[in-house]
Structure formats: C-alpha cells, structure tokens
Amino acid sequence: MEGVWTGRIKKMSNEELLRITETGRIIGLKAAGEILSRILEGRVTDEDKYLRAILGSIKVEGEPKAQRKAKEVKEEASKTMIEKGYLDEPNLSTILREIDSQKILERAIRKCLAKDRNIPNYLLGEMIRRIKSLSLKETLAKRILNQNLTTDDFLVIEEELEDLKKFPKGSPLQIEALEKHWKIGMEPENACWLIGFVPSLAERTWERLCREGRVKDLSMEELDEIFRYTESPEIKMKAGKELLPRIEKELKRARELLKKNPGDAEMFLQVNGLEGDVEELRKELKKRLNNREIEKMKIYTIPQT
C-alpha cells in the first residue's frame, strides 16, 4: 500500500500535494517530502506558501519513527525557507513556533537581523523567548528598547534577560527595561509577578513599591502570590506580615456572617478556607519571627469555632 501511495504522489499536481500536506496526516509526510524535492528542482511556484504549509501542518507525533521523519521534514522545510530568504513576518513566526533546533532558530534570526529591516516588537519578543543564547537575547532586547514599548515588551526583557550567576540583582538590560516600565506605569499585578517569579528583580521591585507606598494598595490575592512564590525570605516575611492581619480581618467578618446564618454552606467553606490560610501563614512566619512579634501583628483575637 505504501508503494502505491508513493507512485500516486509522484503523479500529483503541486496543489494536490499541498492539500494532502495540510491534512497533517501520515500520508501528508510523503506529500511534504515530494514538495521539498520539487522545490529543489525548481518545479514549484509560490515556494514559501508550500514551505509554510509543511511547517504549520505536519505534526511531530505518533510512533518514534514517524516523529523523527516529521521533525526531519519540518527542519528541511525551515532550512530551505531560510536559505531562500523567505523570512517575512508570517514565515518567521511559523519557524519560531514550529522548530525546536536552536541552530536553525539562531540562523533564521541572525539572517533576519542582517537585513536591517523594521521588525515588530511582538516578533522580537517571540525570538527572545524561543532562543537560549543570552548574547542573542541581548542583541534583540537592545533593538526592542530603541522602539516604542508596551507592557508585554517590558515583561519579555525583564523575564528573559535574567542571568542570576552574572547579575544576581538584575542585568543592565533588565534594569533598563524595569526603569522604563515604571515610567509608563507599572501595574500591581505585573510588579507582583516580577517579585514572585523573576528573582533578580524581586528586591528592586519590592523596594520601589514600598518607597511609593503602594504595598498597602495590593490586594490580598496579590500579597498571597508574593508570599507563596518569591524566593526572597525577607520579602516573604514582609508580605506575610502585611497579609496576616487582612486575612484575620476577613476571617472575623466571615465568622460573624456564619454565626448569623449557620446553614450557609458557602460561607462555611469560606471560613474553613480562611482558617487554613491563617494557620499556614502563621506557621510560615513563625519560622522567621518569634511568637511575640506575631502576636503584635494580630489585630483581632479570633476564637476558634
């Protein structure tokens, strides 16, 4: 049966091969292979359309042998696309999305940069997120920083330009992006994200929030995110000290409401959840504070139900 399909594929038109390739099925691999052969022979017009279809339609799945073949076909299509200079936005974005080989990705990016054309921020951001080379990330980040930036652009640089071994308190490009981010207006949720998930910028971001008096404006959910995820013991303690009285206040309110309506199942669950939160928070703080300091923070005396 395989031989029959091979014979049929050889006789198909380019458009027929394209339609089979776009199905994404196993037979599409054979069609894609035939398209690549015809492109090398100069028998296909609109080559980039066919190459993009191969990259976007062929899936790396199934048995290991099929996965290897699919990966080979997709990589061959991407190499052909790069060699022939088919690197407009749709094609480059497809390569970034579909190819894992760092060697191929770097080749595509460097060739794109060499053309010295305007590259939109979203595409530069995709490049930064997909490659591992820090030096190439830096080249791309510098290019973004010279353009008009949005919040997403700042976050890409702040997250991806981290080099904890060399710059534990933030790399120069991270800090430049962070300072510009503050100037256009740092949203609380983004500040909390940086504190919780970007260790090199956590301290600098937290200190800025404190200096501007914005910690008190953070929601309980935002403080909880900082407390749970930051790697800084000092920030964890400070966020916990800010969070504990708020949770205890909310717990007191919930208990009073439950007392008025004992049959409220939803409120019962809320009280249980808040009691668990208080217990967990006090347990964590106890590791860093003595009992007297914890009691000073406790603004309400809450009897157990």
Which one-letter DSSP state was computed for residue 187? -
Q: How many domains does one find in the chain?
A: 1
35 pLDDT higher than 50: yes
Instruction: Report the interhelical angle of 188-197 vs 220-229 (nearest 10°).
Output: 20
Confidence class of residue 261 from pLDDT cuts 50, 70 and 90?
confident
pLDDT for the residue numbered 118: 84
Residue 126 in domain = no
Give the residue-averaged pLDDT of 197-211: 97
Confidence class of residue 3 from pLDDT cuts 50, 70 and 90?
low
Selection from 292, 290, 255 nearest residue 274 by Cα: 255
Task: Give the structural domain span for 26.
Answer: 1-117
Selection from 245, 248, 241 nearest residue 227 by Cα: 241
Residue 267 vs residues 80, 122, 252, 263: alpha-carbon distances, Å: 62, 45, 12, 9
Residue 262 in domain = no
Residue 141 in domain = no
Residue 72 in domain = yes
Residue 74 vs residues 18, 27, 97, 112, 120: alpha-carbon distances, Å: 14, 15, 11, 19, 25
Residue 285 in domain = no
CA gap 240, 304 in Å, rounded: 21
Residue 238 in domain = no
Give the residue-averaged pLDDT of 128-136: 96
Residue 103 in domain = yes
Output 148-152 pairs: Cβ under 8 A, ≥24 positions apart: 148/121, 149/121, 149/177, 149/180, 149/184, 150/121, 151/181, 151/184, 151/187, 151/190, 152/121, 152/122, 152/125
Selection from 93, 69, 65, 70 nearest residue 81 by Cα: 93
- The model's pTM is 0.82
Residue 129 in domain = no
Contact assessment for residue 20 and residue 35, using Cβ atoms and an 8 Å cutoff? no
pLDDT for the residue numbered 262: 83
